[in-house]
Amino acid sequence: MRRSKAKGYPGSWFADVDDERLPCVHDCYRTKDGRDYFDRYSGLGLKKWENFVEAIRSGRCVIVTVDKILSEGPNFQKSFKRKGYVGVFEVADVEADSEGLRFRFVQQLADLTDQ
């Protein structure tokens, strides 16, 4: 597995790895076995959310981040501060609806720890 570095931007839901902009997802929403992801927040109708979900569906890759939860709001929405990066992962079976965002992790493509 390759080792890479990620570069994120404040307020962005994306980061760059090896000259590719990828969507970032939060490690805290991974299942205990690490195989699945379920974020109960749904931003249906928000352009930023729709672009984010489309990037996951079309690219089939995400960056998993480690974050500090700053606050929790209505509808399961949380405010985060990014602390670091875990890796780049291939994903499949992406679903986004009023229940939230769900997908399955297929394999880890790059290690982003120890940056």
Instruction: With respect to residue 67, please indicate whether it lies within any of the assigned structural domains.
Output: yes
pLDDT for residue 85 is more than 70: yes
Considering only residues 104 and 67, tell me which one the structure prediction assigns the higher pLDDT. 104
Q: How many domains does the chain have?
A: 1
pLDDT digit string, tens, across residues 43-65: 888 999 999 999 999 999 999 99
| 50 residue type, one letter | E
In a domain, 105, yes or no: yes
- Give the domain extent around 56: 2-7+20-110
The verdict on residue 50 lying in a domain is yes
- Please check whether residue 15 lies inside any domain of the structure: no
**What residues have CB less than 8 Å from 112, skipping those under 6 apart?**
3, 4, 5, 6, 17, 63, 84, 85, 86, 87, 88
Is residue 80 assigned to a domain? yes
The pLDDT, as a whole number, for residue 31 is 94
